[in-house]
Amino acid sequence: MSQGNKKCGEEEVEEDETLAMTGDDDDDDDDLDTFTDGDLDSGCEDGVLGCRDPFSSEVKPRILLMGLRRSGKSSIQKVVFHKMSPNETLFLESTNKICREDVSNSSFVHFQIWDFPGQIDFFDPTFDYEMIFRGTGALIFVIDSQDDYVEALSRLHLTVTRAYKVNPDINFEVFIHKVDGLSDDHKIEKQRDIQKRANDDLVDAALERIHLSFYLTSIYDHSIFEAFSKVVQKLIPELPTLENLLNIFITNSAIEKAFLFDVVSKIYIATDSSPVDMQTYELCCDMIDVVIDISCIYGVMGNEGGIPYDKESMAIIRLNSTSVMYLKEVTKFLALVCFLREESFERKGLIDYNFHCFRKAIQEVFEVRLKVLRSRKLLSHRRRSRQATPNGTPRVPS
Ligand SMILES: Nc1nc2c(ncn2[C@@H]2O[C@H](COP(=O)(O)OP(=O)(O)OP(=O)(O)O)[C@@H](O)[C@H]2O)c(=O)[nH]1
């Protein structure tokens, strides 16, 4: 099914801003001074985006997209989060500013993506890279596998070592990208070579403790969604609980595989502990496309104009391999997609009952998360008000 349904995808993005870099700034406590006033106003009011909030990296982690020019960073962002069709990315213009975007699709998927222009020197003294790396959850470094990657590897090394010094908790993710043009053997060979060289560079710098994760990706198939799913999953603190709930659900319902999907982005935020088979994942993505496309055509649009996806959303697809795919709404943004044998599906009543319990448990996890977020906000609000005098000016330390 088509991935180019922009209408369905548009709602996922709360805001899309382009930040301009300005001069340097010594004040470590106020990250935003590195950007223009306009950006400050539009992007970070009340600490909603958490830029001034010391807990921001936990509340809304940043995912940085870095790499050389034309490696495919903007294309990845557009295809995964804007439903742009891969062919349209041919016409994307080169990014010349840092583009920041808030992704708040679901109760669990909340983060900011910062797309960096390939040609900038982010170690320029006027550029506050410490501020950027400090609030970062994951750094995705994109390497164009169809190009000579010697320069990309040295830039990767520089980026990773600098970032690690500022924030050792960053997850370093390397996308060996544009592998659609390579044969299977060639892909494996490239991955092995890139992985070896990147790790050797770290060993030479006595930084072997830095862990790099590698993924073979392309916007022309589902590999980019799968890789992004894994990157995002590492940033979800509730992941073990979600996996556990899925394990309990599938064992009690004779289901073979279950994914918890963020419907808009098709990122799966959790799955049970059995291994993920790429074909199964692709079928699940296609099923979501079918449901959303059919709902867009025949469904009733809500007042908010979001995707036509609600409590009633469900679908059953019988495959000719005697398997059944079953999709059900879990929350406003999440769907459970299951794979099971036809004979297991005869006990649909039991599956639906177990699903009811599963959904309730997910909602409880979500409520706990909300409570934690609220208390963090309150805490940072109190800290800020303690730092300010009644008329709002900063309190001068006595
Ligand atoms: N074959 C192939 N081409 C891709 C893939 N991803 C991106 N491209 C192409 O690569 C070119 C550059 O993509 P961009 O997304 O603009 O690259 P960028 O890294 O954002 O570039 P800058 O903004 O200059 O830093 C475009 O023509 C894309 O169509 C892929 O997975 N496979």
- For residue 15, the one-letter residue type is E
CA of 259 to the centre of ligand 1 (A): 29
**Axis crossing angle, helix 184-204 with helix 150-166, rounded to the nearest 10:** 50
Please report, for residues 37, 123, 130, the alpha-carbon distance to residue 29 in angstroms, rounded to integers and kept in the order given: 16, 20, 12
146 alpha carbon – ligand 1 mean position (Å): 11
Terminal alpha carbon distance of the chain = 65
Coil/strand/helix, residue 321? coil
**Minimum CA distance residue for ligand 1 atom 7:** 72
Question: For each of the chain's 398 residues, which pLDDT tens digit applies?
Answer: 333 333 333 333 333 333 333 333 333 333 333 333 333 233 333 322 233 333 333 456 789 999 999 999 999 999 988 888 999 999 888 877 888 888 765 556 678 888 888 766 766 777 778 888 888 899 999 999 998 889 999 999 989 998 999 999 999 999 999 999 888 899 999 999 999 999 999 999 999 899 999 999 999 999 999 999 999 999 888 899 999 999 999 999 999 999 999 888 888 999 999 998 888 899 999 999 898 888 888 876 665 556 677 777 888 999 987 899 999 988 878 899 999 999 999 899 999 999 999 999 988 888 887 788 788 778 877 777 776 655 555 555 54
Rounded Cα gap, residues 148 and 156, in angstroms: 14
Helices (H), 108-183: 129-134, 150-166
- Cα angle 303-307-310, degrees, rounded to a multiple of 5: 80
Ligand 1 centre and the CA of 218: distance in Å? 10
Minimal-distance CA residue to ligand 1 atom 8: 72
Which amino acid is located at 209 in the chain?
R
Complex ipTM value: 0.98
Whole-number Å distance, alpha carbon 73 to ligand 1 midpoint, is 6
Which of 222, 134, 230 minimizes the C-alpha distance to 174?
Answer: 230
Q: Looking at residue 111, what is its pLDDT?
A: 82
And the tokens for 398? 């006595």
Ligand 1 contact, 135 CB (< 6 A): no
Q: What is the pTM of this model?
A: 0.77
CB of 95 shorter than 6 A to ligand 1: yes
Q: Which of 289, 284, 243, 234 is nearest to 264 (CA)?
A: 289
Place of tokens 């730092």: 387
Instruction: Give CA–CA dist 54/72, Å, rounded.
Output: 32
Contact 262, 109 (CB under 8 A): yes
pLDDT of residue 34: 32
Give the distance, in angstroms, between the CA of residue 261 and the centroid of all CA atoms in the same chain: 12
Pocket test for ligand 1, best of 64, 66, 70, 176 (most atoms within 8 A of CB): 70
> Ligand 1 mean position to 84 CA, how many Å?
13
Pocket test for ligand 1, best of 76, 78, 89 (most atoms within 8 A of CB): 89
Tell me which residue has its CA closest to atom 6 in ligand 1: 72
d(CA 53, CA 135): 10
Local structure of 279: helix, strand or coil: helix
- Which residues are CB-neighbours of 375 under 8 A, at least 6 positions away? none
Is the distance from the beta carbon of residue 90 to the nearest atom of ligand 1 less than 6 Å?
yes
Task: Please give the C-alpha separations between residue 257 and each of 269, 270, 323, 337, in angstroms, as whole numbers.
Answer: 14, 11, 11, 8
33: CB partners within 8 A, 6+ apart: 25, 27
CB atoms near residue 5 (< 10 Å): 16
What pLDDT does residue 120 have?
Answer: 65
Name the residue with tokens 């022309």. Answer: 220
- How many angstroms separate the Cα of 255 from the Cα of each of 331, 334, 339, 340? 20, 19, 6, 5
Q: Identify whether the C-beta of residue 56 lies closer than 8 Å to the C-beta of residue 49.
A: yes
Distance CA 280, CA 104 (A): 26
Closest Cα to atom 10, ligand 1: which residue?
A: 72
